[in-house]
Amino acid sequence: MSRLFDAIVLLWNHAAARRLQRLRRRADVVAHQQRQWRRLRKQVFARSPFYAACCHQDFGDLPVIDKRVWMSRFDHINTAGITLAQALAVAAEAERTRDFSPMLNDVAIGMSTGTSGARGVFMASRSERLRWAGTLLAKMLPDGIFAPARVALLLRAGSNLYDTLSGGLRLQFRYVDLAMPFDDVLARLDAFKPTILVGPPSVLALAADAVLAGTLRLAPSRVIAAAEVLDPVDAERITTAFGVGIEQIYQATEGFLGHTCRHGSVHLNEDCLIVERDWIDRATRRFAPIITDLYRRTQPVIRYRLNDVLVEREHPCPCGSPFIAIERIEGREDDIVWLGNARGAGLVPLFPDLLSRTLLNAAPHAADYLIEQHEVDVLRIAVQPDLSDDQRQQVRQAIADCSRRLGACVPHVSFDIGIEHSATRKCRRVRRLFKLGEASHA
C-alpha cells in the first residue's frame, strides 16, 4: 500500500510539474511564486526557530544567508528537530558503508562533496522526495514517464532521493557508484546499456574515452551533464564519442535549480524557486543567484546566496519559456582569477570561462588542463599532452593579451603542476587557491 500511495503521489507531482512548464507569461510565473511563498512562509515560520524571529519581516527584508550560515544555524533552521550532529553521523556512516538507505524519522540525509571548503548536509522528507522526483521526471523526460528508457545515474554518492526514481519495467534507473574502481563502473554501464546517461562531465568524458578506444559499447540517445561545470574539453570528447548533443542539469545541495531546454539554454526552475540576481558584473550579465525554494520545508532554503557564477542570456530563449535563461554556468565565484589593476590600485577579475577559452584557443590540441592561482599575478598551468616551448610561449602571450585588454597586470605563468582528476571529487579546471582578503599586490 505504501509503494502504491507513493506512486500515486509521484504521478500527481509529475502532472503538476508538467502543468507549470506550460506557463508562458512572466506575470503568471510571479503570481505562482507569490502564492507558493505565502504557503511556505506560513508553514516554515511557525516551525523553524531561526525564521520564527523573522515572522514580521517582508520577503525583501529577510536575511540573505550562505552555506556557512546555513550549516552553523542548522539546528535552528530545519523544522524536523534534527541536530547537525545527528545528521552528520547518519551521512558519514552512509559514506563509509556506501549504504545510503538509513534515514532519521523518515527524513533522508545526504552530504555534499565539499569542494567549496566545507561539506554541506541536506535533508528531505518523503513528500519532498516525491515532489522532487515528479518534478525531475517531468522536466527531463519530455516523452513522459511511461515511455521506455534505461537511465544510468553516475554519482559520487547515492541518496534516498535517487532511490525514489524507481521505475517499472519500461522506465528503469540504475545508480552507479563512482567510488568503485572505474573499470567496474564501465562494466556496469556495459551490462545496463543505458539509453540516457547522466553524470559529471569529467566522468562522462572518461566513459567517452572508453567508447572511442573500443573498450565500451554504449550508444545512449541522450547524455546529460550534472554536478560540474561543462568544460569545452569535456564537451568535445563526449559529443564526439556519443554523437549527441549534451544536455545539462543544474543541481546542488540546495536543490534542483535548472535544466536544458530543446534550444540548449539552461532555464532556472522558477516554478520551484524565486531567483534574485546578485550582480557580479552587470555589463557581462554575470550574477550569483540568491534562491528561495518554494517547496522545501524540512530544511528551508530561503534567500540563500550561491557562489556560482551564472551568465544570463542576452536575448530571450527561442523556446518561449518565461523562466530565466542562462547562457552558461561559469563556475564558482571562488574560482574567479583576480589580477592586479594595471591602472592603479585594486584588482581586476578574469572569469574562469574566459581564461579557459584563452588557453584552449592558444593550445587547441589540449586534451586536458588545469589552471591554478596561488597568489595575485601568478598562474601555474598544466596541459596534457605537454606543450612544447613554443606552444607554452603562445599560451603566455594569449593570456598576456587577454589581461591587457581587461586593463590587468600581465601575470607570471609557469608550467610546473600535474593534473589529477578523481571520479569521487568534482573537477575544477580553474582554481583560485587563496582568499581575496589574503591578496596583496604592490
- Mean pLDDT on 335-349: 88
pLDDT digits (tens, 9 = 90+) for 382-420: 998 889 999 999 999 999 999 999 899 999 999 986 777
Which domains can be identified in the chain, with CATH numbers? 1-323 (3.40.50.12780), 336-438 (3.30.300.30)
pLDDT digits (tens, 9 = 90+) for 55-73: 889 999 999 999 999 999 9
> If you compute the radius of gyration of the chain from its CA atoms, what whole number of angstroms results?
22
Reading the block at residue 48, the C-alpha cell is 523553524
pLDDT bucket at 155, cuts 50 / 70 / 90? confident
Taking the C-alpha atoms of residue 163 and residue 225, their distance in angstroms, rounded to an integer, is 19
Beta strand pairing call for 337-340 and 347-350: antiparallel
Reading the block at residue 163, the C-alpha cell is 532511490
Asked if residues 293 and 272 have their Cβ atoms less than 8 Å apart, the reply is yes
Confidence (pLDDT) at 117:
47
pTM: 0.83
pLDDT at residue 37 tops 90? yes
Backbone angles phi, psi at 101, to 5 degrees: -85, -30
> What's the distance, CA 215 to chain centroid?
29
Taking the C-alpha atoms of residue 291 and residue 304, their distance in angstroms, rounded to an integer, is 5
- Mean pLDDT on 150-163: 71
pLDDT at residue 77 tops 50? yes
Taking the C-alpha atoms of residue 4 and residue 193, their distance in angstroms, rounded to an integer, is 28
Residue 344's Cβ-count burial label (10 Å; 0-12, 13-18, 19+) is exposed
Taking the C-alpha atoms of residue 375 and residue 434, their distance in angstroms, rounded to an integer, is 7
Backbone angles phi, psi at 281, to 5 degrees: -150, 95
pLDDT bucket at 442, cuts 50 / 70 / 90? very low
Which position has the grid cell 588545469?
Answer: 370
Name residue 2's beta-bridge partners: none
The crossing angle, in degrees rounded to 10, of helices 2-21 and 126-140 is 50
Backbone angles phi, psi at 358, to 5 degrees: -60, -45
SS3 track for 79-109: CCCCCHHHHHHHHHHHHHHCCCCCEECCEEE
Confidence (pLDDT) at 197:
95
pLDDT digits (tens, 9 = 90+) for 185-218: 999 999 999 999 999 888 899 899 999 999 999 9
What amino acid occupies position 351? Answer: F
